[in-house]
C-alpha cells in the first residue's frame, strides 16, 4: 500500500509515497491515518504534508521503483477530520488553488512545521518545597525570573505566557537544573456546560421572529442561511445572543466572525457578559503558540464561543452548532492574497457541511447577499426598528454649491478653507452646546492627499507607484518645534520623503498642500472650536484613524475618553464606521463622503452607500434623536437622493436591478486574472497569450487585458483580465481546463499570475 500526500508546493497534484521498512516490519503494520501529518523527502527538501488517501501500487501512476518511502509519521491520529479534508477539497476546487497550498493556509504555522499539537501545554511551576532562601545572593537575574514565576502561584503558567512576559528559556532551564522549578503538562479538563451570566433582554416582535427561525433551524439540524437584515442599532447582537443560547445549551460550539477592526476587548465583553463560557479570540495579532492553542481548543471542543476574524472560518471544530457573520457586507471578509476566499461564502459552505444555521448580520447587505435572498438561498429576517426610544437618525443633504465653505483665520493670520459649509459648522456648534458629541467622517488620513507646485503644476508622486504622496504634517507639532511629524508618504508602499521647501522642477517656493485629510480637518476644527483666543468653550477634538491609534493602548484610551460622554468632536476614518456604540453622538457630518458615487468602479456606489449608512448609524444610538448631514456638490445625483429618501434597501434593490440589466455580478459570475511583473508589456503579453489558449467554444465575456487600476505599485507592473459568465458552472468548467496550462505558458515564466474568483474590485 502507498500513501497519497498533499504537500505545500504550488503544483496541482498530490504525491505517492511508500511506507518505510521498519513500519512494514512492525506486527500491526498500521498505515498513517488519513488526515495526519507525515514528513517526506521532496527533491532535495524535507517537507511536511497531509496524508489524504491510501492507494495500492497499481493505482499509482508512478513506477514502483521511483516511489520513495516517507521519512516519518508525525501523528498517530488524524489532525484533520473528514469534514476538514472535504472543506480543503472544496476550497481547492472552487478557488482553483493547489490542494497542498490550501492545507498550508488552513494549518497554523507550528502545525505546518511539524510541531506536536500539545507542545504548548508545557507549564512551569515552582517546586512546592522551594523558598526564597534557596537562592545564593549573587544569582540576581535568576531570582528576578523566579519571582516572576512566583506571581503565578502554585500552578505556575504555560511556557508561552511566561516567554511573553519576558522570561527567558535559558533561565527556566537553569532553574530547572538547579532543582528549583519543574515543567509539567497540564491535562485539559473538559469545559463545564455554558451558563447564562446575565438574563436575556425581552425581545421585540421582529427580534423574536428571527430568533425563533434560527433556533428552529438549529433544532431540526438542517442547514439554513439567514440574512439578518437589521438597521443600525436594531439589536442584531441580542438576536445572536439568544440564538447562541439555544445552541450552547445543546453543547455545541458557536463561531462568530467579525471584521478586523471590531476586535477590541468590547467585542469579547459583549459575549462574555452574557455567557459564562470558554471564549477563544482568534485574530491576526496572535503569537504562533497562541494560534495553535486556539486551533487545538476549537478542534477538541474546549472552545465554546469562538470570536475571530476572516481566517477563523477555516478552523476545525469538534461540534460546531452555529456561525454568525457580523457585518457580513464588510470588505475584510475577502482574502486578497494567496487563497482568495470570501469568509461569508465559506461560512455558508460550512453551515451546509455541518447541517447548522448560519447568520449573515448587517444593516447594509451586499448585493450578492440580496441576490441570494431573491434566489431563495437565504432566508431574510428584518429588524426595521430600534428598541426602546432610540430612533434611526434623520438624513439631510446640504447643497455645497449654494453656500461657500467656511473660511477660518489661523494662527498666522491667513484664512483657511475648512471644507465645511457654514450650516454644517452651525449644526456642530449647536450640538456641542447641547452637551452632545459630533462625529465628522472623512475617509482619508494624513494632512492632505497632494502636494502641488502652484507655479508649474508639479505634484509629489511616489517613485514606486502610480500614486500621489500623502502630506503628513502637523502644524501644532511644528510650532512647538517638533518636526518629526512632517513628511510625505505613499499609502500604498510606505515610501517616505522629506517635504521639499522648493519645487524640484521649477524652484518655486509656492508649494501647496491640496485637499483635506483627517489631520487637516482636525486642525481646522481646532481653530474654530478649541482656540483659546476665539472660543469661549474649548471642546476636545479627537482624531481617530490608523495614525492616531497605532500604539497598542491608544484606541482603548480614545474609546474611554469618548465614552465619558462629554461634548467633543470626533474626526474619524472608516475605523469609526463599524459597530461602535457611542450613545452621546447625536450628529454625524459627512463633508465629502458621496464622492464615491462618481467613481469609475461599478461597485463604488454600493460600497460608498454602505459606508455612509454605517457611519450614519453612529448617530442617535442612545435615547436622544440623531441627525446626519451630508454635504454634497451633486445634490441631484439620483442614487444619492434615493439613498437619503428611501433608505439603503430600496437603493440597493435598484442597484441590483441595474446590475441585472448590465449583466454585472451578482447577476453574472466573475474571475479576475492578475499578472504582475517588471514591465507592463510583459504582463500584458502573458495575458494575451492566456486569451489565445481559451477553449475555442465558450460563452464567457472576456474583458482585457487592461492595466490594473493602479498599474504600477511598489515598482511592479500589473495588468488584468476579466472573465464574466452568465452561469457559475460554465465559468468553472472553462477555468478547470484553462488555468493550469496558462500558468505553464512560456511567457508567464517570470511573472506572477493569480486567479481571483468572485473578485470584489477590478
Ligand atoms: P446593532 O448591532 O443591530 O447595530 P445592537 O445589538 O448594538 O444593534 O443594539 C443596540 C442597542 O439596543 C443596545 O444597547 C442593546 O442593548 C439594545 N437592545 C437590543 N435589543 C433590545 C431589546 N429587545 N430591548 C431593549 N434593548 C435592546
Ligand atoms: Zn514647480
Ligand atoms: Zn508607493
Judge whether 324 and 254 are in contact, CB under 8 Å.
yes
Q: Which of 167, 185, 203 lies at the terminal end of a domain, its last residue?
A: 185
Q: Are residues 267 and 247 both part of a single domain?
A: yes
Q: Are residues 553 and 696 both part of a single domain?
A: no
Cell of 169: 528559556
493 known ligand binder = yes
Q: Are residues 463 and 452 both part of a single domain?
A: yes
CATH code of residue 537: 3.40.50.300
Q: Which atom of ligand 1 is nearest to the CA of 237?
A: 6
Q: Which of 231, 235, 361 to mutate to test the pocket of ligand 1 (most atoms within 8 A of CB)?
A: 235
CATH code of residue 103: 3.40.1440.60
Q: Are residues 532 and 650 both part of a single domain?
A: yes
pLDDT in tens, 669-693: 999 999 999 999 999 999 999 999 9
201 lines ligand 1 (CB under 6 A): yes
| Candidate from 160-164, 614-618, 735-739 with smallest mean pLDDT | 160-164
pLDDT of residue 449: 93
Q: Has residue 748 got a pLDDT over 60? A: yes
71 lines ligand 1 (CB under 6 A): no
Q: How many CA atoms lie within 13 Å of 564's alpha carbon, on the beta-carbon side?
A: 9
Q: Are residues 312 and 342 both part of a single domain?
A: yes
Query: Please, what is the average pLDDT of the chain?
Result: 89
- Shortest-distance Cα residue to atom 12 of ligand 1: 235
Residue 343: inside a domain, yes or no?
yes
Q: Are residues 164 and 271 both part of a single domain?
A: no
Q: Are residues 439 and 456 both part of a single domain?
A: no
Residue 762: inside a domain, yes or no?
no
Q: Are residues 484 and 615 both part of a single domain?
A: no
Q: Has residue 139 got a pLDDT over 80? A: no
490 known ligand binder = yes
Residue 662: inside a domain, yes or no?
no
Judge whether 410 and 416 are in contact, CB under 8 Å.
yes
For residue 201, give the ligand nearest its CA.
1
For residue 497, give the ligand nearest its CA.
3
Question: 210 pLDDT band (50/70/90 cuts)?
Answer: very high
pLDDT in tens, 503-552: 999 999 999 998 889 999 998 898 889 888 877 889 999 988 888 877 76
Question: 579 pLDDT band (50/70/90 cuts)?
Answer: low
Question: What does DSSP assign to residue 597?
Answer: G
Q: How many CA atoms lie within 13 Å of 594's alpha carbon, on the beta-carbon side?
A: 24
* Of 485, 247, 505, nearest in space to 356 by CA: 247
Q: Which of 237, 256, 360 to mutate to test the pocket of ligand 1 (most atoms within 8 A of CB)?
A: 237
Residue 542: inside a domain, yes or no?
yes
Q: Which of 627, 656, 685 lies at the terminal end of a domain, its last residue?
A: 656
Residue 663: inside a domain, yes or no?
no
CATH code of residue 692: 3.30.70.600
Q: Around Cβ 429, how many Cβ atoms within 10 Å? A: 15
Q: Give, in order, the Cα–Cα distances in Å from 230 to each of 115, 308, 324, 327, 613.
A: 44, 22, 14, 10, 12
591 lines ligand 1 (CB under 6 A): no
Residue 466: inside a domain, yes or no?
yes
Helices (H) and strands (E) in the chain, counts: 22, 34
Say how many domains are in the chain: 6
Q: Are residues 126 and 253 both part of a single domain?
A: no
* Å from CA of 716 to ligand 3 middle: 10
The helix/strand/coil state of 390 is: coil
Judge whether 629 and 589 are in contact, CB under 8 Å.
yes
Q: What is the average per-residue pLDDT within 556-569?
A: 88
362 lines ligand 1 (CB under 6 A): no
pLDDT in tens, 320-350: 999 999 999 999 999 999 999 999 999 999 9
Question: 391 pLDDT band (50/70/90 cuts)?
Answer: confident
Q: Are residues 401 and 261 both part of a single domain?
A: no
DSSP states of 111-158 as a string? HHTT--TTGGGEEEEE-TT--GGGS-TT-HHHHHHHHHHHTT-TT-EE
DSSP states of 538-559 as a string? PPPEEEESTTTS-STTHHHHHH
Q: Are residues 372 and 484 both part of a single domain?
A: no
Question: What does DSSP assign to residue 499?
Answer: P
The domain of 180 spans 122-185
Q: Which of 632, 656, 680 lies at the terminal end of a domain, its last residue?
A: 656
* Of 569, 571, 580, 643, nearest in space to 612 by CA: 643
CA distance 379 to 387: 22
pTM of the model: 0.88
Residue 190: inside a domain, yes or no?
no
* Å from CA of 451 to ligand 2 middle: 11
Strands 541-544 and 415-421: unpaired
- Shortest-distance Cα residue to atom 26 of ligand 1: 387
* Of 486, 434, 488, 429, nearest in space to 461 by CA: 488
236 lines ligand 1 (CB under 6 A): yes
Q: Has residue 262 got a pLDDT over 60? A: no
pLDDT of residue 480: 59
Q: Are residues 505 and 528 both part of a single domain?
A: no
Q: Around Cβ 7, how many Cβ atoms within 10 Å? A: 23
* Å from CA of 470 to ligand 1 middle: 39
583 lines ligand 1 (CB under 6 A): no
CA distance 565 to 575: 19
Amino acid at each position: 500500500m502507498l500513501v497519497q500526500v498533499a504537500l505545500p508546493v504550488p503544483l496541482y497534484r498530490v504525491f505517492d509515497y511508500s511506507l518505510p521498512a521498519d513500519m512494514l516490519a512492525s506486527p500491526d503494520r498500521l498505515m498513517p491515518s488519513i488526515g495526519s501529518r507525515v514528513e517526506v523527502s521532496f527533491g532535495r527538501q524535507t517537507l511536511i504534508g497531509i496524508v489524504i488517501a491510501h492507494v495500492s501500487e497499481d493505482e499509482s501512476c508512478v513506477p514502483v521503483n521511483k516511489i520513495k518511502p516517507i521519512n516519518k509519521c508525525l501523528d498517530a491520529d488524524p489532525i484533520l477530520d473528514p469534514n476538514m479534508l472535504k472543506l480543503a477539497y472544496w476550497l481547492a476546487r472552487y478557488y482553483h488553488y493547489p490542494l497542498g497550498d490550501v492545507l498550508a493556509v488552513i494549518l497554523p504555522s507550528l502545525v505546518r512545521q511539524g510541531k506536536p499539537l500539545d507542545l504548548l501545554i508545557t507549564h512551569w511551576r515552582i517546586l512546592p518545597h522551594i523558598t526564597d532562601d534557596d537562592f545564593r545572593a549573587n544569582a540576581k537575574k535568576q531570582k528576578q525570573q523566579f519571582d516572576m514565576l512566583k506571581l503565578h502561584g502554585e500552578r505556575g503558567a504555560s511556557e508561552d505566557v511566561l516567554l511573553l512576559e519576558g522570561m527567558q528559556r535559558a533561565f527556566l532551564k537553569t532553574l530547572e537544573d538547579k532543582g528549583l522549578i519543574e515543567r509539567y503538562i497540564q491535562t485539559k479538563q473538559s469545559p463545564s456546560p455554558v451558563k447564562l451570566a446575565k438574563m436575556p433582554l425581552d425581545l421585540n416582535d421582529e427580534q423574536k421572529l428571527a430568533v425563533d427561525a434560527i433556533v428552529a433551524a438549529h433544532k431540526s439540524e438542517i442547514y439554513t442561511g439567514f440574512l439578518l437584515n437589521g438597521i443600525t442599532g436594531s439589536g442584531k447582537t441580542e438576536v445572536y445572543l439568544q440564538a447562541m443560547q439555544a445552541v450552547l445549551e445543546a453543547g455545541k460550539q458557536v463561531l462568530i466572525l467579525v471584521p478586523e477592526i471590531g476586535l477590541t476587548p468590547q467585542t469579547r465583553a459583549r459575549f462574555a457578559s452574557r455567557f459564562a463560557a470558554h471564549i477563544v479570540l482568534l485574530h491576526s495579532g496572535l503569537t504562533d503558540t497562541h494560534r495553535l492553542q486556539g486551533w487545538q481548543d476549537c478542534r477538541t471542543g474546549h472552545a465554546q464561543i469562538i470570536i475571530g476574524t476572516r481566517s477563523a472560518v477555516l478552523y476545525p471544530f469538534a461540534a460546531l452548532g452555529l456561525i454568525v457573520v457580523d457585518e457580513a457586507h464588510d470588505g475584510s471578509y475577502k482574502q486578497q492574497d494567496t487563497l482568495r476566499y470570501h469568509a461569508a461564502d465559506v461560512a455558508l459552505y460550512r453551515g451546509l457541511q455541518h447541517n447548522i444555521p448560519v447568520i449573515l448580520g448587517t444593516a447594509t447587505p451586499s448585493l450578492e447577499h440580496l441576490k441570494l435572498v431573491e434566489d431563495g438561498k437565504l432566508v431574510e429576517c428584518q429588524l426595521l426598528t430600534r428598541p426602546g426610544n432610540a430612533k434611526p437618525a434623520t438624513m439631510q443633504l446640504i447643497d455645497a454649491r449654494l453656500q461657500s465653505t467656511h473660511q477660518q483665520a489661523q494662527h498666522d493670520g491667513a484664512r483657511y478653507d475648512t471644507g465645511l459649509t457654514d450650516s454644517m459648522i452651525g449644526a456642530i456648534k449647536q450640538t456641542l452646546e447641547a452637551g452632545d458629541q459630533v462625529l465628522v467622517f472623512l475617509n482619508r488620513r494624513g494632512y492632505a492627499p497632494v502636494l502641488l507646485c502652484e507655479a508649474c503644476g508639479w505634484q509629489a508622486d511616489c517613485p514606486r507607484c502610480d500614486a500621489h504622496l500623502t502630506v503628513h504634517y502637523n502644524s501644532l507639532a511644528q510650532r512647538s518645534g517638533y518636526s518629526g511629524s512632517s513628511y510625505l508618504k505613499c499609502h500604498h508602499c510606505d515610501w517616505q520623503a522629506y517635504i521639499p521647501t522648493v519645487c524640484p522642477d521649477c524652484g518655486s517656493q509656492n508649494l501647496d498642500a491640496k485637499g483635506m485629510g483627517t489631520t487637516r480637518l482636525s486642525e481646522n476644527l481646532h481653530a474654530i472650536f478649541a482656540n483659546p483666543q476665539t472660543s469661549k468653550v474649548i471642546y476636545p477634538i479627537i482624531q481617530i484613524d490608523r495614525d492616531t491609534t497605532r500604539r497598542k493602548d491608544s484606541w482603548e484610551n480614545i474609546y474611554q475618553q469618548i465614552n465619558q460622554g462629554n461634548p467633543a468632536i470626533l474626526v474619524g476614518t472608516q475605523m469609526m464606521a463599524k459597530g461602535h456604540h457611542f450613545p452621546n453622538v447625536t450628529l454625524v457630518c459627512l463633508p465629502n463622503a458621496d464622492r464615491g458615487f462618481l467613481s469609475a468602479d461599478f461597485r463604488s456606489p454600493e460600497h460608498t452607500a454602505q459606508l455612509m449608512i454605517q457611519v450614519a448609524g453612529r448617530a442617535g444610538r442612545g435615547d436622544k434623536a440623531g441627525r446626519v448631514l451630508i454635504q454634497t456638490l451633486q445634490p441631484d445625483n439620483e442614487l444619492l437622493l434615493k439613498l437619503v429618501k428611501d433608505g439603503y434597501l430600496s437603493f440597493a434593490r435598484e442597484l441590483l436591478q441595474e446590475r441585472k440589466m448590465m449583466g454585472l455580478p451578482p447577476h453574472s459570475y466573475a474571475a479576475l486574472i492578475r499578472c504582475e511583473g517588471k514591465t507592463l508589456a510583459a504582463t500584458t503579453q502573458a495575458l494575451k497569450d492566456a486569451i489565445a489558449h481559451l477553449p475555442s467554444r465558450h460563452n464567457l465575456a472576456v474583458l482585457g487585458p487592461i492595466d490594473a487600476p493602479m498599474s504600477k505599485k511598489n515598482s511592479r507592473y500589473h495588468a488584468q483580465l476579466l472573465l464574466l459568465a452568465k452561469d457559475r458552472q460554465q465559468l468553472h468548467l472553462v477555468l478547470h481546463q484553462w488555468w493550469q496550462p496558462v500558468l505553464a505558458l512560456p511567457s508567464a515564466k517570470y511573472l506572477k499570475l493569480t486567479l481571483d474568483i468572485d473578485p470584489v474590485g477590478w
